[in-house]
Structure 1
Amino acid sequence: MSVQTEGKQLTGRHVALMLAAFFGLMFAVNGAFVYFALGSFSGLSETDAYKRGLAYNEEIDHKARQNARGWQPAFSFEQTGATKGRLVLDIRDANGVALHDLDVEAIIRRPVIDGTDQTVALRYDGSKFTAEITLTAPGQWDISLLATGGGYDEPYRLDKRIWVK
């Protein structure tokens, strides 16, 4: 069967070629997506997720011991430039008294990009702990603050996610 349209004839062969071209294009585009997806992110966010999963109960115990301290942390990130900013940590004990005898360190990392991690020490400025930072690019960043001291052997950990626009 053929259909006549403006002087050209549409045959079964034309329809078969159009279908083959359509599905060929779909396979090519999907193949490109798979290639770029597999080449950009391995899917691993932890180097040893299995062992970390086994130690999950230890993490729960650590969090309970940390909460028992009664410390009141207030963390903020103040963006001062395209990729620059200031970390500010105001941390108080259970009575609301500012803690100043701590060593505070920030570990800054991108969630899906390796090789951009950095560690910064926060200094006490008389009222709170601060540090100026320069990041490699705008986007999403994870910050882990570790405060050691204050009469405890185990560090106090505070994890936050920030967006740099």
Structure 2
Amino acid sequence: MFRILLFIALSISLQAQEMTGEQAISKVFKVLNGEEVKIPDPGKREALLQSGAWEALAYIDVRLTFQASEEDLQEAVPDYYRFKAEDLIFKLINPEDHNQYGYEGKLKYRWEKDTLLVLSADGREVKDRWQLLYLDENYLALKMDALRVFFAHTATQEN
């Protein structure tokens, strides 16, 4: 059942490249497994990251697998992220009601090579480090602690 839901979600989200569901799952897996890497030059990276809002679609928890396979792909809750100037705007799904956001906020961020440093609201303290795995006009993948998360563009929810 899960594979069917992921198949449908990825098929809809990846329609811009006219992929079949199986091709979409394969692309997401290859990106999250490190088989397909696209890290733009620093000059282009910021524009691509800030080109719109991002929604989590799928992830692999690297703690749960020694050698990942497509069966290890999990459907992500559609957490919302938007990188705007030096701000990271986020809206995390409520775990008790997946139709609503639970926690929302704004933090600062900056790049350190191919890693996004998530900073406190005042920009003085590093709160988290997310490694860039993939970024192009349509997709983003980050290693967030033990999760490798695949994102696609979504509608912007703020100005």
Structure 1 length-normalised TM? 0.26
Whose RCO is larger (CA < 8 A, sep 6+)?
Answer: 2
Structure 2 length-normalised TM? 0.27
Query: Which one has the largest radius of gyration?
Result: 1
